[in-house]
Structure 1
Amino acid sequence: MIRLILADDHPVFARGLRAVFEAEEDCAVAEVAGSGRGAVEAALRHAPDVAVLDIAMPDGDGLWAAAQMRSAGLSTRILMLTMADDDESVFAALRNGASGYTLKGSHPDDIVAAVRAVARGEAVFGAGVAGRMLRHFSRSVTVAPFPQLTEREHEVLRLLAGGADNTAIGRRLGVSSKTVRNHVSNVITKLQVSDRTAAVMRARDAGLG
């Protein structure tokens, strides 16, 4: 049996949500709160398996409530159920310990499934939220060119592309000219080019230098 508390400051929505869960044989709603502080107090009273929290609530929002539950050492897992689908709300929920994040427009069956998954220890994000996360990380993560190179070889190539000779590269990196020559040789081999000029051209084509 999954013991739940619900927190939402819209009574009609909260009653409907409670009815959804009480219709499920494996769910039991211990309490419904109408504020963030009320959610924390309910969690401390009942130590539920899952707390389903709205974000926008009076007297301590859902993010504050989630953080308070974590600080109190509760093992309660948190599912945010909210209208807010902006990036900042999603990542703030994660920072404050939420295990799942789904939107109020989701089908009731999807919300119940999300609670069950969170109770099993899984991380759950509704389809729209997951899409936002993918777009966020695809914008944020930059893949460096020439992943076959070591970090030092990549730096040598960048300096070559910027017009530095071996002596200048050695001074910049604090290594001998012989070491620089070895790095350049490795770069040429790994890039499968004929000489350093060709390596420089490849590097500049990739935006280095």
Structure 2
Amino acid sequence: MGEVWREVLSVQPEPERWIIIAAAVLALASVLLGPPWRIGRNVVTIAHEGGHALVALLSGRQLTGIRLHSDTSGVTVSKGRPTGVGMVLTVFAGYVAPSVIGLLGILMLMSDRITALLWLSIVVLAAMLLMIRNVYGVLSVVGTGAVVFGISWFTPAEVQAAFAYLFIWFLLFAGVRPVFELQAQRRRNPSPHSDADQLARLTGLPGALWVAVFLLVNVAVTALGVWLLLF
């Protein structure tokens, strides 16, 4: 265990610049193209619901369960005051979580803590697994964790680095597309249960304004992440 711990905390060399750029291009293509997006969207849902769950706990709410569905939707249920700042922050956190997690991951990559980043991802997924309340959710979280563990345990440092950059680039870029999907769904099939419409009820501000805020935050975070890694 001591050797494993030293490996996790060790500093890995930054990959060549072309690998970082290639990972960014591949991640962006995975967000823009339909087939890879349908698979990667499950990872985005995990980050989205994880954002709800974390902020619910930080705001003093009682987390009761998380469900992830095969259509890449999800639900996080918590108990507490039905109104107030804590509830607003909990609902708001979902759509900005993937991009924010991507930015935090970039800060770890910039300090060359690649293995630590992968293992931290495994720990977070394991903690989230305790709150999953349906079979597909368990399979989705366990499958994602297995991929990350396999890369971190069985591959050389160069492969770990390429995967870590691809993973973080994907989360950074993947925060933007769901916001457009949210607005399209609101137009096509209005629902009072979307995050934007829940925020509208909680704050009295229009749901479309909250969609715009989601988009602004994610675009700003993505731009900052690109600047930090490439410039």
TM-score range, shorter chain: under 0.3
TM norm structure 1: 0.23
The structure with more strand, counted as a fraction of residues: 1
The structure whose Rg is larger is 1
The structure with more helix, counted as a fraction of residues: 2
Relative contact order, higher structure (CA 8 A, sep 6+): 2
